[in-house]
Each structure stands twice: as C-alpha cells, then as structure tokens.
Amino acid sequence: MSRRLANPPRANPDAGVVAARPAPEDRVAAAAPDPWRGQPVELRLDGRRLRAFAGESAAAAALADGAHVLARSLKYHRPRSSFCLEGHCAGCLVRVDGVPNQRACQVACRDGLEVEGQNAVPSTDHDLLGAVDFLFAGGMDHHTLMTGSALLNKVTNKVVRQLSGLGRLPATVNRAQPEVGQHDVDVCVIGGGAAGLAAAGAAAGAGAMTLLIDDQLAFGGSLWTDPAAGAGAVAAALAGIDAAGVIRLGAATAIGFFADDDDEAAAAARGVLLVAGADRAWRVRARHWVWATGGYPTNLMLADNDRPGVLAARAVGRLLAQHGILGGERIALVSAAVPADARADASARVAADGVTRLAGALRAAGAEVQLLDEAAVRGVLGRGWVTGLALRDGRTLEADLVGVGGLPAPASEGPRQQRCEVELQPDRGGFVVVVDADGRTSTPAVWACGDVCGYLGPAAAARHGQRVGAAAGAAARPGRAAGGAREVVP
C-alpha cells in the first residue's frame, strides 16, 4: 500500500540515497500546514472525501489515499491508473469539476475539487462492462459482431458505442475566451527539467533575456525522479535562474510552432510558439530556441504490463522525492536489459544505474525492494491492482508495486516542427535530435540539449544544458560577454 512519509526525503551525501522516517498508520493530514507539503485541502474523489495538500497532483493524492483504479480503457474496459505521473500516458484520465479527460497528474489539488473516475458502469472499481475483457480474451472485432441480423446488429452497435470513446461531454459549456499574452525574448528554453534549468540559467548569465517554459505543475523534470537529488537540486536550480533574471512560465504547454511563412529558404526559427496554460495562452517569439523537452517514460514488454500498480520507475522516484509518498511496501523494480559491451555512459546503462539508485532510496524509506532484469520476468499478476510478478523460471514474486525502467523516448516533436533533423537511434531511446558539440541543430538559431538528444540521465543532461545554454545565450547577444554563465544544477 502507498503511504505518505512523516518527513520529506532528504539527500544523504555519504550514501547517495535518501533518508526518511516511515509515517504512522494514520495518513490523514493535520489541520495545520505541513512544514514541507504546505496547506492541507479537502477534495472529493468519486464522492468520497479525500485529504491532500494544495498544489500536489490529484493523482499523487489518490495514490497516497489508496485509490487504485482511476478509469477504464475503451473497448475492453481494463482498469487504468497512473503510470508516468508526467501527463504523457493517458492512464489517469478523469473527470474534474464536470470536465472529462483531464490528466489527474496535471491537476493541482485545492479545496472543493471534484474528481470522478470515468468510462465505467457503475464505478471504476466494479465495472460491469469489464466483463468484455473476459468474454473476448482472444480479441474482438466489433465490425463482424452480429452482422447476420439487422436487429441484433442494431443492438450490438449500441453496446459497442458504450465500449468506445472516453468520458461524457460536460453538462455546461465554457464559452469564455482565454486571455492571450505575448513574450518577445532573446532565448526561449522549452522544458524545465535538469537540462532546461541549466540551459536557461546559462543563457541568462550570458546576458540574454531568457524565457523558460515547462508543462508540469512544478519545475524540475527528471531531477524529481532521483530521490538523491530531488527537492534540494530543484530548489538550487530555481534559485539560480531566478537570480539570473529568467522569466518562468509553469504549467504551460508549448503546443505548436507556426513559422512566419512557408518559404523553404526562410529560417524555420522565425515564427510564433503558441503556449497554453489552464486559462490563458501566450504567443512567444525568440531570436534563439533551445529544446530541452527530455524523454517520455516507456514500459517494458511484459505480459499484462498495463495493470494498475505498474508505474514507470521514474514515477516511483517522483512520488518519493516530490510528494513524500512511498508507493508500496514490497516493490519490484524491473530494469531494461543492458548489453554486456555497453559503455558506462551508454543510455541503457545510465538508465539501469538510475533504477539501482532508486532501489537504495526506497529501501532507506522503509520499503522491501527486489531488483530484476526484464529478461527474468514473464508477466504481471493481479486484477484491480498488481499483486506480483510471474518469473520465467516458474516462481512468483509478491509485490504491491512494480516500477519498470524502460529507456525514455526522446520528446522530439517540437524540434521536428522547426525542421530539425532527427535520427532513429534505438539504443538512445528513439528519434533523437541531431546536434553538434555545442547543441546546434540542423536549423539555424535552434538548439537542443539533454535527453531529447538521447537519454543521458539528470546529471549529464544538466551539464549538457549548461553548455548549450551558454552557447545559445552568447549567440543571441553577440556583443555581450558570457562571463555570467554558470552551471545551476550539479
């Protein structure tokens, strides 16, 4: 079972892991503000009162409270819950204040928030339509169901309609138009993780007016996935960029780049980046662009790997480092296979080393942890929530949480909109942005750094971001010295 820790995880410089004291059995927040988490709030999840903390994600609050199944999948109505906790997997789509298909991991808790599971009859825990998963275990082609009878086909189509689609339309329509702001800057950094924070600080230190955009509820990105860094590294990085004068846009998504014209000879960097927040939007223009969008958590090829309770390993680390939540008491961490001849800085080995460090942090927080290679695991056990793993040697391993350490896939869609060259490199995660030694892409005035160029891990991504940000800042302000540039993330 998930539980909140009484004390926040804190870095232990000697052991390289976190130390924390387990919480008492009563996990209900006190009325007074928590010295680390902030002000307690009360929301409702499927009609049930739930205590949480202002600003933390609804997904984290639900996991801490033991709410396992948040939604059901379309067609087969298999149970769904959080996987990535970064807003990229669609596992935690819920109805929030009457609006369907909201990502619970990107919804900040506040007093009076109404969260409902969706796509289930009568509830996500006990969904009658989940019987489809049993009745059609070998697969279902709805196009050929009951086609011999017009009447049966009509009835079948109505049933199929209930199995498809996600959520119900809102009862009311919000016709208010969002406010639209404007930013004109020297350097725009997209992505506020390890690389983006370092790049923004370095660009501003070089004298460039710098804007930093991030789509998460809190800046920090992959720094939150490593409990050995966690809150301390994020706080230091934010202090550095604030001191350098970086403009921040948080909980704001860069949803599209629109070039000024379609002339192939025109510089693809000239145009407008549209950024959307919860209730407003921004048009952004910049002389130079730095993409630091990182990578997406990926799953491993295991049978029934979509079961609730299977989380990305970095999501397990985020729960611990960002929210002070221990995801389980018996945790199985499964690493992707690492080639025997892989170098120490190879993406697969860096990812596996990160899972090993996470195991140490979870043990220090009081969990029993098993480390496994994906080759040893046949599949996932459990229905509503994971109960263990089936191993290839015939044994069964009990677990109440499974963390999978797949190699993150570079989030290279944005650079591609600016015609940046990408290259498929499976050993580095997927379609990586091709850059030179200073982070320049194939498009003039467009740069990239960190895991979007192939998985590096938080520490190396920060070093890369610092170098690329300094170069971009100097290019944007050629008449200014770059003496103020510094690495803001260790």
Closest CA to 68 of 400, 471, 430, 422: 400
Q: What is the pLDDT at residue 207?
A: 96
Kindly state whether residue 309 falls inside one of the protein's structural domains. no
**Averaged pLDDT of the chain:** 88
Pairing mode, strands 325-326 and 3-4: antiparallel
**How sure is the predictor about 490, in pLDDT bands with cuts at 50, 70 and 90?**
very low
Tally of domains within the chain: 2
Whether residues 129 and 235 share a domain: the answer is: no
Distances (CA, A) of 251 to 54, 57, 93, 146, 187: 15, 12, 17, 47, 19
* pLDDT for 121 beyond 90: no
Scanning the structure block, which residue is given the tokens 């510094």? 486
* pLDDT for 48 beyond 90: yes
Whether residues 427 and 456 share a domain: the answer is: yes
Kindly state whether residue 99 falls inside one of the protein's structural domains. yes
**How sure is the predictor about 147, in pLDDT bands with cuts at 50, 70 and 90?**
confident
Pairing mode, strands 71-72 and 79-80: antiparallel
350/341: higher pLDDT: 350
Whether residues 45 and 157 share a domain: the answer is: yes
Residue 147 domain boundaries:
39-163
Q: What is the pLDDT at residue 10?
A: 53
Kindly state whether residue 219 falls inside one of the protein's structural domains. yes
Whether residues 283 and 416 share a domain: the answer is: yes
How far is it, in rounded angstroms, from Cα 187 to Cα 212? 9
* Mean pLDDT, residues 64-77: 89
* Mean pLDDT, residues 366-383: 96
- For residue 142, the Cα-to-chain-centroid distance in whole angstroms is 33
Whether residues 211 and 245 share a domain: the answer is: yes
Whether residues 111 and 189 share a domain: the answer is: no
Asked if 231 and 8 count as a contact pair (C-beta separation under 8 A), the reply is: yes
How far is it, in rounded angstroms, from Cα 51 to Cα 30? 9
Q: What is the pLDDT at residue 478?
A: 74
Q: What is the pLDDT at residue 477?
A: 84
**How sure is the predictor about 1, in pLDDT bands with cuts at 50, 70 and 90?**
confident
Q: What is the pLDDT at residue 450?
A: 98
Whether residues 288 and 426 share a domain: the answer is: yes
CATH value at residue 44: 3.10.20.440
Kindly state whether residue 191 falls inside one of the protein's structural domains. yes
CATH value at residue 466: 3.50.50.60
Angle at the Cα of 332 from the Cα atoms of 326 and 335, rounded to 5 degrees? 115
Q: What is the pLDDT at residue 33?
A: 59
**How sure is the predictor about 35, in pLDDT bands with cuts at 50, 70 and 90?**
low
Question: Which domain-ending residue is among 104, 134, 163?
Answer: 163
* pLDDT for 100 beyond 80: yes
Asked if 453 and 437 count as a contact pair (C-beta separation under 8 A), the reply is: no
Closest CA to 272 of 411, 453, 417, 421: 417
* pLDDT for 278 beyond 90: no
**How sure is the predictor about 155, in pLDDT bands with cuts at 50, 70 and 90?**
confident
Closest CA to 489 of 227, 201, 207, 211: 201
Q: What is the pLDDT at residue 427?
A: 94
Whether residues 110 and 200 share a domain: the answer is: no
Kindly state whether residue 348 falls inside one of the protein's structural domains. no
171/275: higher pLDDT: 275
* pLDDT for 481 beyond 70: no
Whether residues 158 and 44 share a domain: the answer is: yes
**How sure is the predictor about 483, in pLDDT bands with cuts at 50, 70 and 90?**
very low
Asked if 446 and 415 count as a contact pair (C-beta separation under 8 A), the reply is: yes
* Mean pLDDT, residues 308-334: 96
Whether residues 66 and 157 share a domain: the answer is: yes
Kindly state whether residue 463 falls inside one of the protein's structural domains. yes
Kindly state whether residue 453 falls inside one of the protein's structural domains. yes
How far is it, in rounded angstroms, from Cα 32 to Cα 487? 38
What pTM was estimated for this model as a whole? 0.89
* pLDDT for 239 beyond 80: yes
Question: Which domain-ending residue is among 133, 163, 193?
Answer: 163
Q: What is the pLDDT at residue 20?
A: 36
How far is it, in rounded angstroms, from Cα 363 to Cα 373? 18
Kindly state whether residue 54 falls inside one of the protein's structural domains. yes
Question: Which domain-ending residue is among 163, 197, 217?
Answer: 163
* pLDDT for 119 beyond 60: yes
Which tens digits make up the pLDDT trace of 184-233?
999 999 999 999 999 999 999 999 999 999 999 999 999 999 888 888 99
Whether residues 286 and 428 share a domain: the answer is: yes
How far is it, in rounded angstroms, from Cα 29 to Cα 7? 13
Whether residues 418 and 292 share a domain: the answer is: yes
